[in-house]
Copies of this chain bind each other. A is one copy, B any other.
């Protein structure tokens, strides 16, 4: 762990162990056109405002800082030059170079997003690591619904599907924050309520799952397996209403699940990350993730990580990139995490607030060890 400012390009000589990216997504296999590429830099689902570009964001600037040197271009080169070089190299070589520089040793990949995306093993292989699967509950339920002929069939099949998934996946994930908001009744629904909700939902289409009874049912099915449950909280695309994704809304669920033996992992959390850190401090089974937040805040990742580290116990904080679609987001997410962690812990060591030994130990915990313990991954 050194406090030196990193040069351009990522570096993995900072003394951290191979990272465990405990929440990420597949990479598009084809070459994106410029508009598609830019759209992956934002959480917006609309075109940029007239006169603006998604490259003029912290994520865009971070991509231009960290990625061009890995493709033999100078840092901060214009987007067009970068995209041209990327096209020349092709998607496979680009992915290999960009993931190879991350120092990520384990990829816990949420497979619930649609599109022609790399899977856990394929993604990890490009980066020289190991892949694991995270099952998105709502996608699983929608898939089961598509093949169900009635509510009873649906609930039975779903029950089996969740229990089966727990044998191969390392964790579950819920996007209830997007589908309803986190202000859900914390108790498990009765089987009658589930049956009624399933019947109504199936009769309606079934479209995208937004029914709060079924969302709660999924959460409790996952909790019953004992696998850690990842919950999206905080910012994301505008499907979500931000204040309805405040993790404090999960306090009731935290209390209701405190004695189940299952861990809950709050993802992203921003701008309510201090609230998430508080929950991780007072509930033994609650963890928090710095994920998406660091990727989207560029040089502010240092300040934001420091805010997480106010109340969050050091054994309760996990690293992820939340990368999706572009291998660049793995590069940027890991580089910003490394830079931020090295800077924060280095400053605290330099001031005498922390010992160098503690800083090294905590760095390794957040980078990898906490996740290895929570998800019961093999020691490296």
Contacts and interface: CB of A to CB of B under 8 A. Distances in A.
Given A243-B275, A311-B297, A352-B7, A52 B358 contact: no
Nearest to A303: B306
A299 to B, nearest CB: 4
A75 interface: yes
Contacts of A285: 49
Interface in A138-159: none
A251 B373 CA distance: 39
A242 B275 contact: yes
Interface string A74-109: 011000000000000000000000000000000000
A283 B242 contact: no
Contact of A284 (B8, B47, B284, B347): B47
A285 B313 CA distance: 36
A14 interface: no
A61 interface: yes
A301 to B, nearest CB: 9
A242 B61 contact: no
Interface in A349-380: 351-355, 357-358, 362, 365, 373
Interface in A17-61: 42-54, 56-58, 61
A130 B300 CA distance: 36
A314 B56 contact: yes
A42 B284 CA distance: 11
A61 B354 CA distance: 7
Contact of A358 (B46, B61, B283, B353): B61
A200 interface: no
A69 B243 CA distance: 45
Contacts of A357: 76
B243 A281 contact: no
Interface string A284-311: 1100000000001111100110110111
B281 A310 contact: no
Interface stretch (A118-126, A189-197, A201-209, A233-241): A233-241
A316 interface: yes
A107 to B, nearest CB: 22
A8 B241 contact: no
Interface in A221-257: 235, 237-238, 241-243, 246, 248-249, 251, 254-255
A123 to B, nearest CB: 26
A299 B362 contact: no
A208 to B, nearest CB: 17
Contacts of A8: 352
Contact of A300 (B299, B310, B313, B355): B310
Contacts of A307: 300, 303
A315 B51 contact: yes
Contacts of A282: 42-45, 237-238
A49 B315 contact: yes
B278 A271 contact: yes
A281 B315 contact: no
Contact of A311 (B6, B235, B281, B365): B235
A348 B347 CA distance: 17
B299 A373 contact: no
Given A61-B353, A76-B355, 10 more contacts: A6-B352, A42-B281, A43-B282, A44-B283, A65-B354, A237-B282, A238-B255, A242-B248, A243-B275, A299-B347
